[in-house]
Amino acid sequence: MSGELRLLHVHAHPDDESSKGAASTARYVAEGVEVLVATCTGGERGSILNPKMDRPEVLANITEIRRKEMDAAREILGIRQEWLGWVDSGYPEGDPLPPLPDGCFAALKVEDAAAPLVKLIREFRPQVVTTYDENGGYPHPDHVMCHQITVAAFEAAGDADAYPELGAPWQPLKLYYHHTFHRERMKALHDEMIARGLKSPYEERLKDWKPDPENERRITTRVECAEYFGVRDQALLAHATQIDPDGAWFDVPLAVHQAAWPTEDYELARSVVESEAPENDLFAGLR
């Protein structure tokens, strides 16, 4: 049955597929699930976050380089990947915030920006789709728009009256939101670091991060995937402009991640099939 299962991740930028849900992706690929990543933008306005890559020739060719990084990550994860073709909006900063650049992804109408995703869903025919929650995971305008178009496409793809020019209807059965950077997980990683006599990178952050039981209750599905954390890390490192191998991403050793929090966590946001919560599988109720 697993050979017939198809999983679609919808992400805002190249590298998001490797920082959110990558280990569970690698697990499902190993099990024979066909996995496709839809990347909304090319990351054209992204910053260079790895000091070793912060060079003029890299910045001048950032679009081409990030595409090559995505190619490398795709091979590591064993997935297919498609570009939806929209332009990165950048991360607006200031008070007041500046207007979004003309023509960028987050400035589009949702119904227009969702069209290529509807087409892709109808062609790929996934049973399960994932994306970010209504806050985008964090408030980058492209992440928020990614959420909006994924919800819209999930609803429209199975409607014969919606986008009739984009192929035969296909209704995905389950829609999930990633919950990667939540307090409960960070606290477990912090505690494991302290127990091993190591300095925790989360100490200062946790001081001001109050428990949020309501948010933690949103998590419905925890996918065991600790043995694939190494694959996740290799996929992350493929995005060399975005990930510093000596930076914060790797302050916590792999063994600590595996011991303290061996799952990747999701919220079942929409479903047209029955499954019992809590789940340990994105395909619960479908196998």
Domain boundaries defined on the chain = 2-180+215-271
Cβ 10 vs Cβ 129: under 8 Å: yes
CA distance 49 to 92: 16
Residue 28 has pLDDT above 60, yes or no: yes
Q: What is the DSSP string of 87-120?
A: PP-----SSSPPPPPTT-GGGS-HHHHTHHHHHH
Banded model confidence at residue 3, pLDDT cuts 50, 70, 90: low
Q: Is 269 exposed, middle or buried (0-12, 13-18, 19+ CB in 10 A)?
A: buried
- Report the DSSP beta bridge partners of residue 128: 7, 174
pLDDT band per the 50, 70, 90 thresholds, residue 1:
very low
Mean pLDDT of 93-97: 89
Extended strands (E) in the chain:
6-11, 34-41, 80-86, 128-131, 174-178, 221-224, 263-271
With contact defined as beta carbons under 8 Å apart, do 252 and 201 qualify?
yes
Q: Identify which of 243, 241, 276, 281 has the alpha carbon closest to the alpha carbon of residue 19.
A: 243
Whether the predicted pLDDT of 189 surpasses 50: yes
Annotated binding-site residues read 13, 16, 143
pLDDT digit string (tens) for 45-84? Answer: 999 999 999 999 998 999 999 999 999 999 999 999 999 9
Residue 143 pLDDT: 98
Average pLDDT over residues 221-227: 98
- How do strand 34-41 and strand 6-11 relate by DSSP bridges? parallel
pLDDT at res. 95:
87
What's the predicted TM-score (pTM) here? 0.96
Tell me how far apart the alpha carbons of residues 127 and 7 are, in angstroms, rounded to a whole number: 6
Q: How many other β-carbons are positioned within 10 Å of the β-carbon of residue 280?
A: 10
* Residue 3 or 204, more confident: 204
What's the chain's Rg over C-alpha atoms?
A: 19
Q: How far is CA 199 from CA 193, 196, 253, in A?
A: 6, 9, 11
Between CA 213 and CA 198 the distance in angstroms is 28
The pLDDT tens digits of the residues spanning 117-142 come to: 999 999 999 999 999 999 999 899 99
Best CA proximity match to 7, nearest among 158, 136, 178, 121: 121
Confidence of residue 160 (pLDDT cuts 50, 70, 90): very high
- Summarize the confidence of residues 149-170 as an average pLDDT: 98
Characterise 43 by phi-psi region: left (phi > 0), alpha (psi -120 to 50), beta (else): left
Spell out a b/e string for 56-93, using b for 16 or more CB atoms within 10 Å of the CB, else e: eebeeebeebbeebbebbbebbebebbebebbbbbeee
Average pLDDT, whole number, for the chain? Answer: 96
**Strand pairing partners for 81?**
37
| Assigned fold of 2-180+215-271 | Rossmann fold (3.40.50)
Q: How many CB atoms lie within 10 A of CB 55?
A: 10
* 272 half-sphere exposure, CB direction, 13 A CA radius: 10
* % helix, strand, coil for the chain, step of 5: 45, 15, 40
Annotated binding site for Zn(2+): 13, 16, 143
Q: Is the pLDDT of residue 240 over 80?
A: yes
